[in-house]
Structure formats: C-alpha cells, structure tokens
Amino acid sequence: MSQTVDRALNILPLLAEGPADLGQVADRLGVHKSTALRLLRTLHEHGLVYRQSDQRYRLGARLFALAQEAVENLDVREIAHPHLVRLNESCGHTVHLAVHEEGEVLYIDKVDSRYPVRMYSRIGKPVAITVAAVAKLLLADLPDPERRAFAEKLDYPMYTARSTPSAPAFLRELDKVREQGWATDLGGHEESINCVAAPIRGADGRAVAAMSVSAPNVVVTEDELLTLLPLVRRTAEAISGEYSGRTPTTQSGSSSSSSS
C-alpha cells in the first residue's frame, strides 16, 4: 500500500539472511543506491538496522527489544506462564504455549527443565503446522470453509513417515481433534518426539492458544505420555478459566529479576 515503507520493510528479511552492504541492498531491492541509502538510514535511526564496523548493515538491537515487548504484551502468555511452570514441575517435560496468527502457528512460551540450551531460539518460531499438536488444535477451531481453504494452501512435507501427508488427511485429523478436544503429535515431526496438547479457550469458546507437553521416546513411551493427558487438559482448562475471567485469577502475576 505504501511503496516507500514497503521497500524499507523488505530490507529487514533481506538483512536477516546476513549482513549486506549498500550495493547489495540496492540491487536486491531493485532501487538506486541513493534510495537504498536513505531507507537504510531511516531504519538505522530507529535502531532496526545496525551498521557494523566494515560498513555493512545488520539487523539492529531495537528489533530484540520490540520482539520482547511484543511477547510480553500477550496476555494469554502472562496468565498461562505460572500454570506452564507448575505443569513442568510436576511432569518434568517440555511445555509449550502457542498461538495462531496470520496463517502461522508459533510458540510464545516454553518451559523446559532439562535442556536449557538454546531455549529461547524456539520462541517466536513458526511450528511445523501440518503435524504439530498445538497447530492441529488451533486450526481445528477455524470455521469450516476457512479451514478447508487453508488446508489446501499448505505444503505437506514428510518430516517422518508419520507426518501428515496431504490436505484431506489433515482435514480428517482436524475433525478428529475437534471432536475429542485434544491432539497429539506422535513422531510426526521428529521420529523420536511425541506431544500431547490441549486448547485454551476464551470466554466465547474460541481457541485463543494451545499448550502441549513434549517428550522424547527415550524418556517416556507414547502410552506413558498419554497418561498425562488429563493433567494437560486440566491445566489448559485452568488457564482458560482465568483468561476468560471465570476464575478470580489465583494470585498476582510474576515479577522480574536481573543480573549482569
């Protein structure tokens, strides 16, 4: 809608691939160097772009701050977090919280007591939408025609032999998920990883988020993981209750701490 802004914003994903100099940016944008320069300058002033010592441009620091503020403003996350922690404490497995946004499903929170390595790297990342348990729940909740249209547009990569192979299979799966009110991913994305998920619903009954517990085969079998289903569903229910205002919000939110 706005050419200038459009061009400027196209620079961001471009730089996300790696640092680039003025010429490269101008070329890939299809504009004159001077134009690219001015766009980069504006981005720079806003801190979205950083100029490193070799004069090349990189994505800047403000981007982190913005992304962080964005995630902190998601009220579902705020409410859900203590529940996720509690669930994690009682079962020990990885717990995820995800939402549906603009055709993508992405993690907005995660608690993992065992593998702290690179934990943050998953938050904000779109999930494998055709296989992830949380994705199934969120998509199953869409109105019929929309769901159908969406399923048609998807790719169905075979991450493993148990991945969802096609749109019809996916739609069948969604029907089942909607029916039973919970979902699983049994090795559909990574051979050795299973998940159980339950939806979090707002006051109007629509799924606003979904949560899941994931564990590798080597720790618990599929059957053992399914044992946790009632607990997961209860947790999701508790969050739903609080989110939709039915429950008086047990205690106040968390605080923060810090260090250097």
Interaction residues for its own copies, span 108-167 (CB under 8 A)? 110-113, 116-128, 131-135
Q: Is residue 204 close enough to count as binding DNA by CB under 7 A? A: no
Site string for its own copies, 40-69 (x = CB under 8 A): -xxx-xxxx-x-------xxxx-xxxxxxx
Instruction: Give the one residue of 22, 167, 226, 231 binding DNA; rule: CB under 7 A.
Output: 22
What gap in Å lies between CA 56 and CA 185, rounded to an integer?
A: 43
Q: Is residue 46 close enough to count as binding DNA by CB under 7 A? A: no
Applying CB under 7 A, the span of 5-13, 87-95, 151-159, 171-179 interacting with DNA comes to: 5-13
For residues 65 and 71, is the Cβ–Cβ distance under 8 A? no
Nearer to DNA among residue 202 and residue 241 (C-beta): 202
For the chain, how long is the longest CA-to-CA vector? 62
Q: With contacts defined by CB under 8 A, how many residues of the chain interact with its own copies?
A: 86
Residue 65 binding result from its own copies, DNA, none, given CB thresholds of 5 to 8 Å by partner type: its own copies
111: which strand partners?
95
Applying CB under 7 A, the span of 18-26, 94-102, 145-153, 180-188 interacting with DNA comes to: 18-26
Q: Is residue 169 close enough to count as binding its own copies by CB under 8 A? A: no
Task: For the chain, give percent helix, strand, coil, nearest 5.
Answer: 45, 20, 35
Instruction: Give the one residue of 35, 160, 163, 244 binding DNA; rule: CB under 7 A.
Output: 35
> What residues numbered 203-242 form the site for its own copies, per CB under 8 A?
212, 214
What gap in Å lies between CA 195 and CA 207, rounded to an integer?
A: 18
Give the 3-state secondary structure of 189-247. CCCCEEEEEEEEECCCCCEEEEEEEEEECCCCCHHHHHCCHHHHHHHHHHHHHHHCCCC
What gap in Å lies between CA 244 and CA 100, rounded to an integer?
A: 18
Nearer to its own copies among residue 128 and residue 231 (C-beta): 128
Instruction: Give the one residue of 4, 68, 90, 192 binding DNA; rule: CB under 7 A.
Output: 4
DSSP string, 92-135: -SEEEEEEEETTEEEEEEEE-SS--TTGGGGTTPBP-TTT-HHH
What gap in Å lies between CA 258 and CA 51, rounded to an integer?
A: 29
Q: Is residue 79 close enough to count as binding its own copies by CB under 8 A? A: no
Instruction: Give the one residue of 83, 147, 178, 189 binding its own copies; rule: CB under 8 A.
Output: 189
Q: Is residue 85 close enough to count as binding DNA by CB under 7 A? A: no
Residue 35 exposed, middle or buried by CB count within 10 Å (0-12, 13-18, 19+): middle
**Token digits of residue 43:** 């981005």
Q: Is residue 21 close enough to count as binding DNA by CB under 7 A? A: yes
Site string for DNA, 53-72 (x = CB under 7 A): --xx----------------
Geometric angle at alpha carbon 40, from 35 and 43, rounded to 5°: 130
Residues that bind DNA (CB under 7 A): 2-7, 21-23, 31-35, 37-39, 55-56
